[in-house]
């Protein structure tokens, strides 16, 4: 039987969470026949692969496990794309899970669309306080298909909300950076040139776990992997430059990319801002990054100033009053990344 959806579970040392993740896909047998779940074990040192195999043995028509050498989050997505047989493709990280009832509805709804992108609401789950918060897209109507431009000028669709038509990924050789953190943005953006239609379903499917001390989105995680974020940011500059010089260039998609890259600049700047004011080497790296960003695209550089008052101040005073402005930036970074 052809599968309607492939769900890829990037998994590295997630034995503590994987049962919850995989249990969330167990539902009515007729529905389970319509999708597959691929656990991509990224060289785990714990029982991740063993747990995945238990589900594959019990539900062989739905679950399978692929074990490989460690290559990072992007490598697991690439592996999933190569092995996917579903019409649509979704990524659910091995320490997250899905809201089963709404996931079942999503599978049913996918039978009604041909859009290249499909997106839904999702939940953020705060692990340390056992609390969840809905992330909604109220500006869109349930079951409605939109032109990409009508979505792009309203919202950035994060990975947790997104389902992509598999043929878009396979036919256009979409490949995500490997051995690198923060590649979610590549997964979302690289298919954009090939997306014409987007459908929204008013469901809360993805349960996105936050506040884990090991997460790369924590302050210490950002600092530890600062070069990875820098790499992705510059890769997105290259991607944008190639796109706008191609015969596929479209103004709405170019605007979408510019906004995304401006946000990456702001985040990269916030990472630099999280270091102590006395770290002069960090300040030099920050100023060099800022100079490079302006050189690569004055337009995107200016957009990042429009979107960030802290950056606008730093640039206005040519990085003078650095300590005062950085203290304000660091406080903002801590508040927005709790």
How far CA 241 is from CA of 30, 179, 189, 271, in Å, comes to 46, 24, 13, 25
State residue 216's pLDDT score: 53
Mean pLDDT of 271-289: 89
Judged by DSSP in three states, 84 sits in coil
Neighbouring residues of 269: CB distance < 8 A, sequence distance ≥ 6 = 286, 289, 290, 304, 308, 310, 311, 314, 329
Strand pairing partners for 199? 118, 145
d(CA 135, CA 114): 25
**Phi, psi (deg, nearest 5) at residue 253:** -70, -40
114 versus 128: the higher-pLDDT residue is 114
Average confidence score pLDDT of the chain: 93
Mean pLDDT of 301-307: 97
Give the pLDDT band (50/70/90) at residue 277: confident
Neighbouring residues of 297: CB distance < 8 A, sequence distance ≥ 6 = 237, 240, 241, 258, 261
State residue 81's pLDDT score: 99
Select from 66, 260, 254, 84 the least CA-distant residue to 169: 84
Mean pLDDT of 330-335: 53
Q: Is the pLDDT of residue 320 over 80?
A: no
In the chain, the percentage of residues whose pLDDT exceeds 90 is 82
| Contact status, residue 74 vs residue 177, Cβ threshold 8 Å | yes
Strand pairing partners for 134? 123
State residue 188's pLDDT score: 98
Pair of tokens at residue 308: 């960030």
State residue 217's pLDDT score: 55
Select from 231, 206, 247 the least CA-distant residue to 90: 206
State residue 338's pLDDT score: 46
Q: Is the pLDDT of residue 87 over 80?
A: yes
**Phi, psi (deg, nearest 5) at residue 193:** -60, -20
d(CA 90, CA 119): 10
Neighbouring residues of 288: CB distance < 8 A, sequence distance ≥ 6 = none
- Looking at residue 165, the DSSP 8-state letter turns out to be E
Select from 66, 107, 71 the least CA-distant residue to 83: 66
Per-residue pLDDT tens digits for 229-250 = 999 999 999 999 999 999 989 9
Strand pairing partners for 131? 126
Give the pLDDT band (50/70/90) at residue 318: confident
Per-residue pLDDT tens digits for 115-173 = 999 999 999 999 888 899 999 999 999 999 999 999 998 999 999 999 999 999 999 99
**Strand 117-126 relative to strand 197-210, pairing:** parallel
In the chain, the percentage of residues whose pLDDT exceeds 70 is 92
State residue 195's pLDDT score: 98
Q: Is the pLDDT of residue 11 over 80?
A: yes
d(CA 247, CA 171): 18
Pair of tokens at residue 238: 């290259």
319 versus 299: the higher-pLDDT residue is 299
d(CA 98, CA 209): 11
Pair of tokens at residue 316: 């206005």
Per-residue pLDDT tens digits for 103-113 = 999 999 999 99
Q: pTM of whole model > 0.85?
A: yes
Instruction: Give me the CATH code for the 5-210 domain, please.
Output: 3.90.550.10
Q: Is the pLDDT of residue 284 over 90?
A: yes
HSE value, Cβ hemisphere, 13 Å, CA-based, for 15: 12
């Amino acid at each position: 039987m052809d599968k309607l959806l492939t769900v890829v579970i990037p998994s590295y040392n997630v034995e503590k969470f994987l049962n919850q993740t995989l249990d969330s896909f167990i539902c009515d047998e007729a529905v389970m026949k319509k999708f597959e779940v691929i656990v991509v074990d990224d060289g785990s040192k714990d029982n991740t692969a063993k747990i995945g195999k238990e589900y594959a043995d019990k539900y062989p028509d739905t679950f399978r496990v692929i074990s490989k050498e460690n290559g990072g989050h992007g490598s697991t997505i690439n592996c999933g794309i190569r092995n996917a047989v579903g019409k649509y493709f979704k990524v659910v990280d091995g320490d997250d899970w899905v809201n089963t009832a709404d996931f079942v509805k999503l599978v049913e709804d996918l039978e009604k669309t041909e859009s290249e992108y499909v997106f839904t609401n999702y939940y953020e789950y705060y692990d340390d306080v056992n609390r969840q918060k809905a992330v909604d897209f109220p500006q869109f109507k349930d079951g409605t298909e939109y032109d990409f431009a009508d979505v792009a000028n309203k919202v950035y669709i994060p990975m947790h909300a997104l389902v992509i038509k598999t043929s878009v990924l396979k036919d256009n050789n979409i490949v995500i950076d490997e051995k690198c953190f923060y590649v979610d943005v590549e997964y979302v953006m690289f298919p954009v040139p090939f997306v014409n239609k987007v459908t929204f379903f008013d469901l809360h499917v993805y349960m996105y776990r936050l506040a884990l001390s090991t997460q790369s989105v924590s302050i210490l995680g950002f600092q530890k992997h600062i070069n990875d974020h820098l790499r992705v940011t510059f890769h997105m500059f290259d991607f944008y430059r190639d796109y706008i010089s191609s015969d596929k260039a479209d103004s709405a998609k170019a605007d979408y990319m510019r906004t995304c890259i401006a946000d990456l600049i702001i985040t990269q700047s916030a990472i630099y801002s999280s270091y102590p004011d006395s770290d002069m080497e960090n300040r030099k790296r920050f100023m060099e990054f800022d100079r490079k960003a302006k050189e690569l695209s004055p337009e995107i550089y200016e957009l990042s100033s429009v979107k960030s008052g802290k950056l606008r101040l730093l640039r206005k005073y040519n990085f003078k009053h650095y300590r005062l402005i950085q203290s304000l930036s660091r406080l903002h970074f801590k508040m927005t990344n709790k």
